[in-house]
């Protein structure tokens, strides 16, 4: 009888361990997307061809803090029209400002190497994908400026999406109250640790959006759908057992460009030098399984 009692105690004590192991299940394989910024990557134009800084302008490669995207799509080939591939992400939009716009308050903003998107691979249509499309919406980075012959470092918030509803945001202690829609090219700037700020609007359709397949699969004017080709097709067969991680390498090679008043290669907003382009200069997507 004593032996049976001891065995009963052992069985009861072991129950939690059995129940825990039976309840736990491995997480299903995921598609994970992260951003990377590369100042040495090729500087491309809207057609995906090498580009130099326009005459009369100057540019610098900024130091990125954060970024956000509005839309992501996997395209099987160069003839796949936008929207006809596999859309894997679409950010929230709002009509608070009138026309439909990206809702900045609900945008997911990440730094380099941080996970931007993580979805089950079971939600991604099986297929072989040659191209990646990413509609970028927001950038935040450090730039160098000159004011009254003194060089400073500041932070620039750059809104490159097709249209963005912004309530308010801050750069350090500088608060920018907008409460409305802002078209592609809106920017705001604040000096680091200095009481100076400014905001403005780059010219319409001046934001560079590289698309190497523009002749076969164009993008809407005013959007920021950057297109890049995988070195080898991303194949999803629906039977994956491991995660797939996509790295989106964005060219920031002289991606911040302005029109010079004083031709010294220094951005001087106080003398009327205006931002003309804040577009990313190319996309190289890659993946690991």
Residue 16 included in any domain:
no
For the chain, how many structural domains are there in total?
1
- What is the C-alpha to C-alpha distance for residues 81 and 220, in angstroms, rounded to an integer? 11
Residue 245 included in any domain:
yes
Residue 279 included in any domain:
yes
Q: What is the pLDDT of residue 27?
A: 83
Q: Is the pTM of this model over 0.85?
A: yes
Residue 24 included in any domain:
no
Residue 73 included in any domain:
yes
DSSP H or E stretch at residue 99: none
Backbone phi, psi, residue 125, to 5°: -60, 130
Give buried/exposed letters for 50-79 (b at 16+ CB in 10 A, else e): ebeeeeebbbbbbebeebbbbbbbbbbeee
Beta strands in the chain (DSSP E): 30-38, 57-60, 63-75, 86-90, 93-94, 101-103, 115-120, 127-147, 150-159, 163-171, 174-183, 186-191, 197-201, 225-236, 244-251, 256-259, 275-277, 283-288
Residue 267 included in any domain:
yes
- In terms of DSSP bridges, do strands 174-183 and 101-103 run parallel, antiparallel, or are they unpaired? unpaired
Which of 94, 81, 125 has the alpha carbon at shortest distance from 236?
125
Mean pLDDT by 10 residues, the chain (289 residues): 45 46 70 98 98 96 97 98 97 96 97 98 97 98 92 95 96 93 95 86 93 97 94 96 97 97 92 93 97
Tokens 């927001």 locate to 138
Q: What is the pLDDT of residue 121?
A: 97
Residue 21 included in any domain:
no
Q: What is the pLDDT of residue 17?
A: 45
136: β partners: 69
Which residue range is the domain that position 123 belongs to? 29-288
Interior CA angle at 64 toward 58 and 67, to 5°?
115
Q: What is the pLDDT of residue 2?
A: 47
Residue 1 included in any domain:
no
């Amino acid at each position: 009888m004593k032996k049976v009692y001891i065995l009963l105690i052992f069985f009861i004590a072991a129950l939690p361990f059995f129940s825990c192991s039976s309840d736990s299940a491995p997480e299903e394989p995921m598609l994970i997307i992260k951003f990377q910024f590369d100042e040495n990557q090729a500087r491309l134009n809207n057609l995906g061809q090498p580009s130099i800084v326009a005459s009369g302008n100057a540019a610098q490669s900024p130091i990125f803090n954060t970024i956000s995207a509005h839309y992501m799509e996997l395209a099987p080939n160069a003839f796949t029209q936008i929207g006809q591939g596999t859309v894997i992400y679409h950010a929230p939009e709002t009509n608070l400002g009138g026309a439909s716009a990206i809702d900045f308050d609900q945008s997911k903003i990440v730094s380099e190497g941080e996970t931007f998107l993580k979805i089950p691979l079971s939600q991604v249509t099986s297929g072989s994908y040659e191209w990646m499309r990413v509609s970028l919406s927001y950038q935040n980075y450090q730039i160098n400026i000159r004011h009254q012959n003194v060089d400073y470092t500041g932070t620039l918030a750059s809104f490159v999406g097709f249209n963005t509803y912004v309530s308010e945001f801050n750069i350090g202690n500088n608060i920018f109250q907008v409460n409305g829609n802002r078209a592609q090219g809106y920017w705001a700037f604040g000096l680091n640790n200095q009481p100076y700020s400014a905001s403005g609007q780059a010219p319409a359709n001046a934001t560079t959006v590289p698309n190497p397949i523009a002749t076969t699969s164009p993008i809407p004017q005013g959007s920021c759908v950057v297109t890049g080709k995988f070195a080898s097709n991303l194949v999803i067969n629906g039977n994956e057992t491991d995660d797939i991680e996509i790295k989106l390498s964005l060219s920031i090679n002289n991606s911040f460009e302005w029109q010079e008043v004083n031709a010294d290669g220094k951005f001087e907003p106080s003398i009327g030098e205006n931002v003309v382009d804040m577009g990313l200069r190319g996309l190289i997507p890659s993946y690991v399984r």
